[in-house]
């Protein structure tokens, strides 16, 4: 399994210019000729069959009545079996939606390639984030529309690859839908539109938090028969080369809301601190404080923590010259010169992102979230780089960084020593 060759470094100015050059050419139909030959039935391929992948598959199947799950791929067979069992229960009244023959259930490190070759039209990329850049590139090269879960990469090399795949998708008229579902949250959409229309005046600062108990999905325990790679894959949250650390795996949503408020203009620089307090496995931390700064003077303060026995909080406060906007769990309000509170419907944002994707495909359009999803992920990476090293990191430096954490080639019996956590002041800024 090789990593994707990445393009030359992208500057902040080039990044901004590219983000405004939204797909100029719409020459090809959104649905493939093969799909049209099946009365527009769309075949889904699921790559990564864990909890998020199973949820994404259910949402994609719910979004469109003429979609079937056609192929599944995962490193581990049990993941496919558990996912199938869950999805069959959800669609027991319409079992035809689950059309995954045994011959289209692929396991192993090359399972993603086999899914892409199986005749699917749309793929759901829901593996750990370290795999995302080359899975995305392979999917676009294979001519597939993509739902791309966050994070979109875990290092600068991966993000440059994602940007190249984004450009290739535009050339090939293929859709990329990002899994930053809060952009599809109705209260947040309504509030952010008002903010961008001037309801709180000029934006001055942003305060964003994501603090909860320790995420205990994987206990980190190692069975005697497990190789280095299997152990780390089965406990991927704890390993930065796979998850990007919790600042990317979970807090990426909060970072994306900051980017959204800033109209997806990248920050000029950031400085950060953090630590590992309760973690005992791998090299993941459990606490960060990041300050982002823009050239226009706006500052964003991100506080994130995953520790037991501590204060929990998940909110975003946008402070302007004429008031403030507050986002909470499914709530949004504005106070100051304008007073407003969201009181409309609240459909599940994970479902809405798929509903809108398939509606656009059926209308012959190919949405491409690639630029903004890459930027939001890169903001998380630069914050982690700053915290790990204790150094200020500029956007320009981060985009050109030679940091690449994904091994060149993965094999089951490879030596993959347990990595040591970063030490600020000692860990080099690469």
Contact of 283 with 240, CB cutoff 8 Å: yes
Domain count within the chain: 2
Residue 174 three-state SS: coil
Predicted model pTM? 0.91
DSSP state of 150: S
Claim to verify: residue 111 and residue 225 sit in the same structural domain = no
Residue 116 inside a domain? The answer is: yes
Claim to verify: residue 248 and residue 158 sit in the same structural domain = no
Contact of 181 with 357, CB cutoff 8 Å: no
Burial 161-194 (b: 16+ CB within 10 A, else e): bbbbbbbebbeebbbbbbbbbbbbbbbbbbbbeb
β-strands 269-275, 313-320 pairing: unpaired
Per-residue pLDDT of the chain (430 residues; tens, 9 = 90+): 333 333 333 343 343 333 333 332 233 345 554 454 446 899 999 999 999 999 999 999 999 999 999 999 999 999 999 999 999 999 999 999 999 999 999 999 999 999 999 999 999 999 999 999 999 999 999 999 999 999 999 999 999 999 999 999 999 999 999 999 999 999 999 999 999 999 999 999 999 999 999 987 888 999 999 999 999 999 999 999 999 999 999 999 999 999 999 999 999 999 999 999 999 999 999 999 999 999 999 999 999 999 999 999 999 999 999 999 999 999 999 999 999 999 999 999 999 999 999 999 999 999 999 999 999 999 999 999 999 999 999 999 999 999 999 998 999 999 999 999 999 999 999 9
Claim to verify: residue 50 and residue 177 sit in the same structural domain = yes
Domain range holding 215?
Answer: 183-343+378-400
Residue 405 inside a domain? The answer is: no
- The CATH number linked to 258 is 3.30.360.10
Claim to verify: residue 161 and residue 141 sit in the same structural domain = yes
Claim to verify: residue 77 and residue 189 sit in the same structural domain = no
Residue 152 inside a domain? The answer is: yes
Tokens for 119?
A: 């005749």
Radius of gyration of the chain (CA): 21
As to burial, measured by CB atoms within 10 angstroms (0-12 exposed, 13-18 middle, 19+ buried), residue 228 is middle
Claim to verify: residue 225 and residue 364 sit in the same structural domain = no
List the 323-328 sheet strands across, edge first. Answer: 340-341, 331-336, 323-328, 313-320, 203-212, 299-306, 287-293, 269-275, 393-394
Residue 429 inside a domain? The answer is: no
């Amino acid at each position: 399994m090789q990593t994707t060759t990445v393009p030359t470094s992208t500057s902040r100015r080039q990044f901004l210019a590219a983000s405004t050059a939204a797909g100029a050419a719409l020459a090809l139909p959104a649905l493939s000729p093969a799909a049209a030959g099946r009365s527009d039935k769309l075949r889904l391929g699921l790559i990564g069959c864990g909890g998020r992948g199973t949820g994404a598959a259910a949402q994609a199947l719910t979004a469109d009545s003429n979609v079937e799950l056609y192929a599944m791929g995962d490193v581990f067979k049990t993941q496919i079996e558990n996912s199938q069992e869950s999805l069959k229960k959800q669609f027991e009244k319409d079992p035809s939606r689950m059309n995954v023959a045994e011959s289209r259930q692929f396991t192993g490190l090359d399972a993603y390639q086999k899914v892409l070759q199986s005749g699917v039209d749309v793929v759901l990329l829901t593996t750990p984030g370290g795999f995302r850049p080359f899975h995305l590139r392979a999917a676009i090269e294979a001519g597939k529309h993509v739902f791309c879960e966050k994070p979109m990469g875990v290092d600068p090399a991966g993000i440059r690859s994602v940007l190249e795949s984004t450009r290739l998708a535009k050339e090939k008229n293929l859709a990329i839908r990002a899994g930053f579902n809060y952009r599809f949250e109705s209260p947040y959409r309504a509030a952010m539109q008002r903010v961008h229309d001037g309801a709180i005046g000029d934006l001055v600062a942003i305060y964003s938090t994501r603090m909860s108990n320790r995420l205990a999905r994987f206990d980190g325990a190692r069975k005697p028969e497990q190789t280095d790679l299997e152990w780390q894959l089965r406990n991927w949250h704890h390993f930065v080369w796979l998850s990007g650390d919790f600042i990317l795996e979970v807090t990426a949503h909060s970072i994306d809301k900051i980017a959204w408020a800033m109209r997806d203009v990248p920050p000029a620089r950031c400085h950060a601190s953090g630590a590992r307090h309760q973690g005992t496995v791998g090299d993941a931390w459990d606490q960060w404080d990041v300050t982002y700064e823009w050239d226009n003077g706006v500052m964003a303060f991100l506080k994130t923590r995953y520790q037991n026995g501590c204060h929990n909080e998940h909110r975003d406060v946008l402070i302007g010259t004429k008031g403030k906007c507050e986002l909470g769990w499914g709530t949004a309000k504005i106070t100051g010169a304008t007073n407003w509170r969201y009181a409309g419907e609240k459909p599940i944002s994970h479902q809405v992102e798929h509903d809108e994707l398939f509606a656009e495909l059926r209308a012959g359009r190919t949405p491409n979230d690639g630029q903004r999803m890459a930027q939001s992920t890169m903001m998380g990476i630069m914050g982690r780089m700053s915290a790990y090293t204790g150094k200020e990191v500029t956007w320009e430096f981060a985009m050109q960084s030679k940091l690449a954490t994904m091994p060149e080639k993965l094999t089951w019996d490879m030596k993959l020593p347990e990595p040591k956590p970063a030490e600020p002041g000692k860990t080099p800024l690469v």
